[in-house]
Structure 1
Amino acid sequence: MLHRLSADDPRFRTVTFRTGLNLLVAHTRGESSGTDSRNGTGKSSMIELLHFLLGSTVRKHSLVTRPALRNIRFTLELDWPGQARQVKVSRCGKRHKVVETNALLGERVQQGLDFDDDGFEYFDELTVTEWTRAIESHLFRLPADHGPGISGRAMLSLLLRRAGAHAFNSPVQTFPQQRPSDATANLAYLLGLGWQLAARYREIAAREATRKQLRAAMDDPAWARVVGSTADLRTKIVVAEADVERLTREVSAFRVVPAYEELKKQADELDRRVRALPDEDVIDRRNLADLRRAVAETNDPETEYLERVYNELGVVLPDGVRRSFDDVRGFHHSIVRNRRRYLSEEIAEIERRLADREEERTRLGDELSATLRALQEGGALDGLTARQQLLAQKQATLAALRKQHETALALESSQREIAEQRATLRTTLKADIEERASQTREAILMFTEFARRLYGGERDAYLLIDAGTHSLEITPHVDSGDSLGINRMVIFCLDLTAAVICHRHGRGPDFLVHDSHLFDGVDERQIAEALKLAEEVCAREGLQYIVTLNSDVLEQVRLLGSVQHVSPIEPKLDDRYEEGGLFGFRF
């Protein structure tokens, strides 16, 4: 139960709550002018402050971030389950990420609240996350592993609807962007229905949203490069697997040769020498042929014909001439003999070189084969490193292709799987609703009772609870003909039903707060009956109902005989420009 809303700014008009029905009324002063207004007196701001102190997220345009308010420290005093003394919680817009409380939470969020022995003067600083976790654990009894889609903050938004969040547009959703699956899961928890099953719709919805985004991306020509078809990817995977296997074998069989570069240079030199030998052979064989031809052409000159010629001419050569001629002939014979010997030696040298080269050719061939074999069987360390890097790249490519293939398969089969999951979840949830017949009966009968109190038995009024395709369907209905006022009273009946049931079964707090916007367009007779009903229910169930009203609406309600004995709570807001509002000044 809420007790007191205050601030450290003396101009702020402290709000004091009580049990049962609480009416925070904005009055019109007798001396008010035609330009004064009860709009802006702080009725909706009070609900914003309650949310702020109960852990709401502060955004750029939040009320407490305004320059006139950001340094003010607001405080809420409220009852806490299992504690005899009230809990104080304080928060400031300037330090909105910190929550101060006189109860020692800290690391004892799950063990419970312990008060400091010195009383309320001690304040423990918590993060907003720790504070909201404590609210979930103690006010709503949510298990710590409740999962996404359901939260204490979402349920507080049902019990403290905010006009600024457009919470009165729908009975189930508390803001327009809220997923129906999330909204019904939180309401299901308050009503005692299968909220875990209802929350599973969120997972399916998230998966379907992802699938739709992927399907939309398929219209982009770049899609094939990102994911591709399963057939193309299967082919690429086969090729990539073969490359990885080949490189794996090469790396496994690779032998590092320490003198790899020297061997490579040696092989190049041997190859160059082997290639040069035939050219040298050609030159020597050509010279050998020339020498052999020269030997064949080297003979002693014929001299016998000279003496015969001289005899036929009758010339007798003297002995001196004969001796000179014999000397010349001997000289020429010596020259021919020397030339033949020189040519023979040259021929022998060339033949030796040819034979040596033949042996060298055989030897070089053996050496080159051995060197090339060593190079082929192993390599330098950088060669092994390069192969290992290439193998790693191929393995990464293969892993990426397999992931793409999984994504493509998931996309192709996701629609069928999602439909199957929805059907299975819907069947399971229908069975769960049947098993929770007592809980559904309690909620349906209570809502119908409240609606009939407001509109009688002539209008068809019911609370539909069913397993839908996309979410648990909780649909409150009162025949209205699209009347805004009746639709607002549907919200009143649903909220009151949820507040009673969750408090009755220990799943929620004992307060319900409504802004005066709830009664926009509502006939004063239904407003009067709604306030009377809320008063009776609060008395019976031990609840606290806080509602803001304008004084003219309250006067009309009292004329109809409702809640005449109920006096508004303090402060009494009015339309005085400066001091009449909740904050005591205008900003």
Structure 2
Amino acid sequence: MKLLSLTANKPSFHEIIFKDGVNIIVGKQASNINENDGNTYNGVGKSLVIHLLHFCLGSNKIDDFEAKLPGWVFTLKFSIDGKEYLASRSTDKQNKIKYSENSEPLPLSKFREEMMKLCFNIEVSPNYMTWNTLFPRFARRSRASYISFDTFVNKEQDYSKLLNNGFLLGLDKTLIVEKQELRKKQSAITNTEKAIKKDPFFKQYFLGKSDAEFDSFELKHKILELQNKIDEFKVSSNYHDLEKELSEIRFSKKQKENERSLIKSNINNIEKSLEKEINISSEQLFEVYNSAKIELPNVVKNNITNVLSFHNELIKNRNLRLNEELIKNEGYLNDIDIEISSLGDKMDQLYYYLGSHGALDEYQVINNQLSLLKQKRDKIDDYQDILKTYQNTSRDIKTEYIEQEKITEKYLEDSKEFIDSLKSTFYNLSKEFYDKKTGGLIINNNSGENQLRFNINAKIDDDSSDGVNEVKMFCFDVLLLLSKVSNIQFLFHDSRLFSNMDPRQRKIVFEEMDKLSREHDVQYICSLNEDAIQSIEILTEEKEFKNLIEKNIRLELTDESAESKLLGIQVDINLEKK
């Protein structure tokens, strides 16, 4: 891709015609007020050119264009392999870009797809590599893109930097993508580990406080026992009625047993009473008196005889009564034994029935217990499956890291000649600026468990000092251009690149790009303040160099009036606003 022209539908706009070789857009200031180089571009408009280039070629929507330039249409003409194209975009309808004179405008996404094919020969690109990440590497636009040699897009992630820069250098992007994909797998498995540690149930097993295999084995046996119990369970519809009947019979039997104890006690007392012999004869009594040598009168003897006779009659009658009571209680005992035996038989029958049957709610309780045990077993099984997958995947990832390391080392060894040529190009460019400073490009394998496949680093001694960092940026950008991985044949720099360079470094930039543009058929486009040109002219008296600058100035813009600025009108546009 070479740039041909930048135009607008408003006659006040200053058309820019680009040519092969060096193209310079100069900003002059008639007044002593310096151009504001902050967030608002209210100078002559030279920095606006690079933003218009991006706008025509599919950048994101620019709100200030819609608000402050209504009705404007900007058109960029360019060529690829000798064929001319155009990109025409309205500030009012920024979601579409006209792709050719006779075609309907394309949606922004479709236009970018077409540009990816035309400029980078890419039909389907990996994540983090798009038109809006690749194209800015040939036209640094924002202030942030002039801070570091490998940063071209605001807030670009390290992986995106590596992927886009590596691709344009000609490195194998598959190796870059594969390591990032592997890192994503590792991050996912790390998240799995975190989730396991957070789950209270899984945590006890993961941290070794409980043994999942042991618990699973025990649960399986408990589940089998409950399952067998449920399989053999017989539900009785009147189970609770029978339980009540059994309770009543048990109570009755207990009462009868208490009665039997009382009867037995009575029989025992009667039998003890009958065993006592209390009959006394008159002869026995008189013998007692005789032994005591007491003479009893006949009258007394007769009375004693009568009393004893009466007493013995009472004893006889008492024994008859006790015998009758004994017989009666023995009868009661026999009857109550029969009743107790009958109640016992009924209880045994109910116990047997209730032992082989159960109530519905009891069945449900057992079933619920079984369900809970199964849930716990399933969760342990899930944990074991997750743990197995986690362990296997972790091992596989570590193995794959090692395999990718080997493949990358072999790739670097096989590509040594090609990579050395990249290093030589950067080295030779840096030496044009600083003959006594060490400068070089590092491309090597970035080992370890991370997402970046290669280390790509550009270095020039004292690159933190004024001007050296900008020279390093310039050398790296030229390296991307000369790698010729893409069909883009131009490099565009804003005046920011030159702000910290000393006049000698600025001079070398133009001399190098004049030479390289002829050797490699590329364009170099830049915007430059007039004082930067003047500083170079003061440095050298070479007519040839002065002619190089003067003949390649494509447009001069001044702040003398609104008409002499790029748009031909006075408008303040915030181009750094997100």
TM-score of the aligned structures, taking structure 1 as reference length:
0.69
Unaligned runs of 5+ in 1: 104-114, 299-311, 314-332
The alpha-carbon deviation at position 400 of structure 1 amounts to 4.4
User: Which has the larger displacement, 35-44 or 373-382?
Assistant: 373-382
Which of these residues, 545, 559, 569, is aligned with residue 575 of structure 1?
A: 559
The residue that corresponds to 1:242 in the other structure is: 217
Q: Map Cα deviations across residues 528-579 of structure 1 (whole Å, 9 max, x no partner).
A: 2312322332344332322111122234446654324534334x43235755
The residue that corresponds to 2:483 in the other structure is: 501
Give yes or no for contact 2:56–2:76 (8 Å, CA) kept in 1.
no
Which of these residues, 112, 121, 140, is aligned with residue 141 of structure 1?
A: 121
The alpha-carbon deviation at position 501 of structure 1 amounts to 1.6
The alpha-carbon deviation at position 175 of structure 1 amounts to 5.6
Give yes or no for contact 2:202–2:383 (8 Å, CA) kept in 1.
no
- Mark the structure with the bigger radius of gyration: 2
The residue that corresponds to 1:303 in the other structure is: none
For 2:533, the aligned partner's letter is L
The DSSP-based 3-state class of the residue aligned with 2:35 is coil
- Separation in 2 of the partners of 1:13 and 1:192? 38
The DSSP-based 3-state class of the residue aligned with 1:233 is coil
Give yes or no for contact 2:263–2:332 (8 Å, CA) kept in 1.
no
- Label 1:585 to 1:236 Cα distance change in 2 as closer, same or farther (>3 A): farther
For 1:396, the aligned partner's letter is K
- Label 1:73 to 1:258 Cα distance change in 2 as closer, same or farther (>3 A): farther
The DSSP-based 3-state class of the residue aligned with 1:167 is helix
For 2:492, the aligned partner's letter is V
The DSSP-based 3-state class of the residue aligned with 2:443 is strand
Q: Kindly report the root-mean-square deviation, in angstroms, between the aligned alpha carbons of the 2 structures.
A: 4.8
The alpha-carbon deviation at position 57 of structure 1 amounts to 5.1
The alpha-carbon deviation at position 23 of structure 1 amounts to 1.8
Give yes or no for contact 1:443–1:497 (8 Å, CA) kept in 2.
yes
- Label 1:390 to 1:581 Cα distance change in 2 as closer, same or farther (>3 A): farther
- Separation in 2 of the partners of 1:386 and 1:83? 81
Q: Map Cα deviations across residues 314-335 of structure 1 (whole Å, 9 max, x no partner).
A: xxxxxxxxxxxxxxxxxxx9xx
- Label 1:348 to 1:133 Cα distance change in 2 as closer, same or farther (>3 A): farther
Which aligned pairs between 1:435-584 and structure 2 lie closer than 5 A?
Answer: 435-455=414-434, 459-469=437-447, 471-480=453-462, 482-502=464-484, 505=485, 507-557=486-536, 560=542, 561-562=544-545, 563-570=548-555, 572-576=556-560, 578=562, 580-583=564-567, 584=569
The alpha-carbon deviation at position 101 of structure 1 amounts to 3.1
Give yes or no for contact 2:182–2:397 (8 Å, CA) kept in 1.
no
- Label 1:48 to 1:369 Cα distance change in 2 as closer, same or farther (>3 A): farther
The residue that corresponds to 2:310 in the other structure is: none
Q: Map Cα deviations across residues 414-460 of structure 1 (whole Å, 9 max, x no partner).
A: 9x976x766654443232122124422432333334334444x5554
- Label 1:82 to 1:158 Cα distance change in 2 as closer, same or farther (>3 A): closer
The DSSP-based 3-state class of the residue aligned with 1:569 is strand
The residue that corresponds to 1:370 in the other structure is: 353
| 2:570 corresponds to 1:585 | yes
For 2:29, the aligned partner's letter is T
Give yes or no for contact 1:263–1:371 (8 Å, CA) kept in 2.
no
Give yes or no for contact 1:149–1:199 (8 Å, CA) kept in 2.
no
- Label 1:232 to 1:293 Cα distance change in 2 as closer, same or farther (>3 A): same
Which of these residues, 86, 97, 102, is aligned with residue 101 of structure 1?
A: 97
Unaligned runs of 5+ in 2: 275-301, 304-316, 573-578
- Separation in 1 of the partners of 2:251 and 2:333? 17
- Separation in 1 of the partners of 2:198 and 2:469? 47
The residue that corresponds to 1:171 in the other structure is: 149
- Separation in 2 of the partners of 1:375 and 1:573? 101
The alpha-carbon deviation at position 239 of structure 1 amounts to 4.7
- Label 1:566 to 1:361 Cα distance change in 2 as closer, same or farther (>3 A): farther
The alpha-carbon deviation at position 207 of structure 1 amounts to 7.5
The residue that corresponds to 1:64 in the other structure is: 63
The residue that corresponds to 2:33 in the other structure is: 35
The alpha-carbon deviation at position 191 of structure 1 amounts to 1.8
The residue that corresponds to 2:207 in the other structure is: 232
Give yes or no for contact 1:136–1:142 (8 Å, CA) kept in 2.
yes
- Separation in 1 of the partners of 2:198 and 2:129? 35
- Label 1:134 to 1:264 Cα distance change in 2 as closer, same or farther (>3 A): farther
- Label 1:35 to 1:481 Cα distance change in 2 as closer, same or farther (>3 A): closer
The residue that corresponds to 2:166 in the other structure is: 188
The residue that corresponds to 2:250 in the other structure is: 275
- Label 1:349 to 1:185 Cα distance change in 2 as closer, same or farther (>3 A): same
- Separation in 2 of the partners of 1:212 and 1:484? 44
Higher RCO (CA < 8 A, seq sep 6+): 2
The DSSP-based 3-state class of the residue aligned with 2:553 is coil
- Separation in 2 of the partners of 1:71 and 1:352? 119
The alpha-carbon deviation at position 366 of structure 1 amounts to 3.4
- Separation in 1 of the partners of 2:339 and 2:12? 119
The residue that corresponds to 1:388 in the other structure is: 371
For 2:559, the aligned partner's letter is D
- Separation in 2 of the partners of 1:468 and 1:521? 33
Give yes or no for contact 1:573–1:580 (8 Å, CA) kept in 2.
yes
The alpha-carbon deviation at position 489 of structure 1 amounts to 1.6
Q: Map Cα deviations across residues 366-408 of structure 1 (whole Å, 9 max, x no partner).
A: 332332333399954575356325522542355347647876x
The DSSP-based 3-state class of the residue aligned with 1:242 is helix
| 2:27 corresponds to 1:20 | no
| 2:49 corresponds to 1:46 | yes
Give yes or no for contact 2:75–2:88 (8 Å, CA) kept in 1.
yes
- Label 1:243 to 1:485 Cα distance change in 2 as closer, same or farther (>3 A): same
TM-score of the aligned structures, taking structure 2 as reference length:
0.70
Give yes or no for contact 1:256–1:379 (8 Å, CA) kept in 2.
no
The residue that corresponds to 2:286 in the other structure is: none
The alpha-carbon deviation at position 495 of structure 1 amounts to 0.8
- Separation in 1 of the partners of 2:82 and 2:380? 61
- Label 1:201 to 1:55 Cα distance change in 2 as closer, same or farther (>3 A): farther
Which aligned pairs between 1:23-422 and structure 2 lie closer than 5 A?
Answer: 23-29=24-30, 32=31, 34-35=32-33, 37=35, 39=37, 40=41, 41=43, 42-56=45-59, 64=63, 68-69=67-68, 75-79=74-78, 84-88=83-87, 90=89, 92=91, 99-103=95-99, 119-120=101-102, 122-126=104-108, 128=109, 130-142=110-122, 144=124, 146-164=125-143, 166-174=144-152, 178-203=156-181, 232-233=207-208, 235-242=210-217, 244-246=219-221, 248-249=223-224, 252-253=227-228, 255=230, 260=235, 262=237, 264-266=239-241, 268-273=243-248, 275-286=250-261, 288-289=263-264, 351-352=334-335, 354-375=337-358, 380=363, 383-384=366-367, 387-396=370-379, 398-400=381-383, 403=386
- Separation in 1 of the partners of 2:69 and 2:348? 93
The alpha-carbon deviation at position 518 of structure 1 amounts to 0.9
- Separation in 1 of the partners of 2:324 and 2:29? 150
Give yes or no for contact 1:274–1:365 (8 Å, CA) kept in 2.
no
Give yes or no for contact 1:22–1:568 (8 Å, CA) kept in 2.
yes
Q: Map Cα deviations across residues 437-491 of structure 1 (whole Å, 9 max, x no partner).
A: 4422432333334334444x55544433322446523333444575432331222
- Separation in 1 of the partners of 2:262 and 2:462? 125
Q: Map Cα deviations across residues 70-95 of structure 1 (whole Å, 9 max, x no partner).
A: 86665453547689451425365x87
- Separation in 1 of the partners of 2:236 and 2:5? 88
- Label 1:448 to 1:286 Cα distance change in 2 as closer, same or farther (>3 A): closer
For 2:475, the aligned partner's letter is C
- Separation in 2 of the partners of 1:398 and 1:123? 58
State, as a whole percentage, how many aligned pairs show the same letter: 14
- Separation in 2 of the partners of 1:226 and 1:291? 68
The DSSP-based 3-state class of the residue aligned with 1:21 is strand
Give yes or no for contact 1:485–1:523 (8 Å, CA) kept in 2.
yes
- Separation in 2 of the partners of 1:437 and 1:426? 16
The DSSP-based 3-state class of the residue aligned with 1:235 is coil
The DSSP-based 3-state class of the residue aligned with 1:549 is strand
- Label 1:376 to 1:81 Cα distance change in 2 as closer, same or farther (>3 A): farther
- Separation in 1 of the partners of 2:358 and 2:417? 85
